[in-house]
Amino acid sequence: MKVLMFGWEFPPHILGGLGTASYGLTKGMAEQKDLELTFVIPKPHGDEDQSFLKIIGACHVPVVWRENSWEHVNYRIGKLMHPDEYFWLRNGIKYDYTRIYTDELGCINFSGKYPDNLIEEISNYEAVASVLAHQMQFDIIHSHDWLTYPAGVFAKHISGKPLVIHVHATDFDRSRGKVNPTVYSIEKRGMDVADHIITVSDLTRRTVIEKYHQDPRKVTTVHNAVEPLPDADSFTKTERKDKVVTFLGRITMQKGPEYFVEAAHRVLQKTDGVRFVMAGSGDMMHDMIELVAKRGIADRFHFTGFLKGRQVHEMLAESDVYIMPSVSEPFGISPLEAMQVGTPSIISKQSGCAEILTHAIKTDYWDIDAMADAIYGIVKYPAMYNSLRNQGREEVNNIKWYNAGLKVRSIYDSVLKY
């Protein structure tokens, strides 16, 4: 079975959980030897792992015909795409996209990020999808998150192949209910046109059914998992007197950073033997710095900025407690990553991963007293810490992407029957 997937991020160049989930799922699916995966992203860098799938950069797919020599194409993009593939894809140009600004190869310059003109990039991604849909052979289309739904819809209309969309989050999660009508419209259309919808949690499934008015029979939950960490034991804690409690993620309203700060303030009223770390970046960072100062805990609080790659696991392993106080978290892979390196986790009940984790403490995101009590209990009582550490690690090591991949495959099979 040949699968054409549209995504927006892929490791090692990621800005959030979408890329991590895309990598884990596709790697788990690739263990099924009869699946052939082609994964499209706006802008690859050439260091992505292509041992189990093929990556196509949208920025290397011509959408406007340009006369070029083999040598010039090889000079421009030869390190990322074979020139013969470029010329083959060029034969798939069926529409006039001269309205879009393109380079001398007729390709669109995608940022590969989330720029101010994101809606324009999403629209341009549709043009790339049209070329791929006309030229490639595939059995099913799979679009990850709202950014790629329009590309998937267009590919379906051109090819007649079924479309599965993967809802990693909705705008209700990202905006705390203050939904952007443009984003909602893109999400709703993708869901309406899709032959099946995959959600990363039952929490998200309910949102899709209730807020986007989808038939429950069309929506299936496939919980995320975590990539195995073979060298988990190489991540160790530095010997120190103080305990460390960490928030790691985007510092934005969806993630509830203010509740972390308030819980920290409560804990520090009981003990001064704890330090708090806010790792990440986002539009609320300045507000959080001000709130920390206002609460008078700046001497016990640290902001690391954005972490990536091995830095993430190093920070999690250095921590005695990991906390994810998200207001609305469709899934949340970071607690699983923390538990992999033996760090007890506190998660909000309003998170998808709370549906599958037993050995993590769960509180309401707004209940800062419960959060503070849980933090205090873990850092002060070794028996509690050790129980959560050992049982949590054992539990999370059995949550595998391969199993998620089998569920996705069964959805493909059911869709292709009709």
Query: Which pLDDT score is estimated for 232?
Result: 81
Residues 221 and 274 in one domain: no
Helical ranges in 164-256 per DSSP H: 171-175, 181-193, 202-211
List pLDDT tens digits, range 255-268.
999 999 999 999 99
Residues 338 and 268 in one domain: yes
The yes-or-no verdict on residue 291 having pLDDT over 90 is: yes
Query: Which pLDDT score is estimated for 332?
Result: 93
Query: Which pLDDT score is estimated for 162?
Result: 98
List pLDDT tens digits, range 294-313.
999 999 999 999 988 889 99
The arithmetic mean of pLDDT across residues 108-122, rounded, is 95
pLDDT band (50, 70, 90) for residue 233: confident
Per cent of the chain over pLDDT 90 is: 91
The arithmetic mean of pLDDT across residues 271-299, rounded, is 96
DSSP symbol at 329: B
Residues 203 and 345 in one domain: no
Smallest CA-to-CA distance from 248 within 152, 345, 371 is with 345
Question: E-strand spans in 249-355?
Answer: 274-279, 301-305, 321-324, 345-348
Residue 410's identity, in one-letter code, is: S
> How far, in Å, are 13, 29, 145 from residue 8 at the CA level?
10, 18, 8
Smallest CA-to-CA distance from 388 within 351, 349, 338 is with 338
Query: Which pLDDT score is estimated for 344?
Result: 98
Query: Which pLDDT score is estimated for 309?
Result: 81
The yes-or-no verdict on residue 29 having pLDDT over 90 is: yes
Residues 88 and 150 in one domain: yes
CATH number for position 320: 3.40.50.2000
Residues 123 and 253 in one domain: no
The yes-or-no verdict on residue 124 having pLDDT over 90 is: yes
Query: Which residues are CB-contacts of 304 (< 8 A; sequence separation ≥ 6)?
Result: 277, 278, 279, 280, 315
Query: Which pLDDT score is estimated for 230?
Result: 84
What's the rounded Cα separation, in Å, for the pair 347 and 322? 8
Please state, rounded to an integer, the average pLDDT across all residues of the chain.
Answer: 95
Long-range contacts from 379-383, C-beta under 8 angstroms, 24+ separation: 379/243, 379/245, 379/271, 379/273, 379/274, 379/320, 379/321, 380/271
What pTM did the predictor assign?
Answer: 0.92
Query: Which pLDDT score is estimated for 25?
Result: 97
Query: Which pLDDT score is estimated for 15?
Result: 81
Phi, psi for 283 (deg, rounded to 5):
-70, -10
The arithmetic mean of pLDDT across residues 358-376, rounded, is 97
What's the structural domain count of the chain?
2
Instruction: Please give the residue that has the higher pLDDT: either 228 or 10.
Output: 10
Query: Which pLDDT score is estimated for 175?
Result: 82
The arithmetic mean of pLDDT across residues 338-362, rounded, is 97
CB 144 within 8 A of CB 5: yes
The yes-or-no verdict on residue 357 having pLDDT over 90 is: yes
Residues 410 and 277 in one domain: no
The arithmetic mean of pLDDT across residues 243-270, rounded, is 96
Residues 210 and 339 in one domain: no
* DSSP β-bridge partners for residue 363: 348
Domain that holds residue 107: 2-225+401-416
The yes-or-no verdict on residue 322 having pLDDT over 90 is: yes
Query: Which pLDDT score is estimated for 279?
Result: 96
Residues 276 and 131 in one domain: no
Phi, psi for 20 (deg, rounded to 5):
-60, -45
- Cis status, amide bond into 11, omega within 30 of 0: no
The yes-or-no verdict on residue 345 having pLDDT over 80 is: yes
Smallest CA-to-CA distance from 178 within 287, 285, 284, 327 is with 327
DSSP symbol at 10: B
List pLDDT tens digits, range 150-195.
999 999 999 999 999 999 999 998 887 789 999 999 999 999 999 9
Place of tokens 């669109």: 108
Structural tokens at position 317: 């392993």
Phi, psi for 378 (deg, rounded to 5):
-70, -40
Q: Quick one: how far is CA 166 from the chain centroid?
A: 11
The arithmetic mean of pLDDT across residues 307-332, rounded, is 93
Cβ atoms < 10 Å from Cβ of 293: 11
Residues 30 and 165 in one domain: yes
Query: Which pLDDT score is estimated for 178?
Result: 86
The arithmetic mean of pLDDT across residues 21-44, rounded, is 96
Residue 280's identity, in one-letter code, is: G
Residues 363 and 267 in one domain: yes
Residues 35 and 125 in one domain: yes
Residues 99 and 237 in one domain: no
Decide: helix, strand or coil at residue 196.
strand
Structural tokens at position 13: 């160049």
Decide: helix, strand or coil at residue 36.
strand
Query: Which pLDDT score is estimated for 174?
Result: 85
Query: Which pLDDT score is estimated for 243?
Result: 96
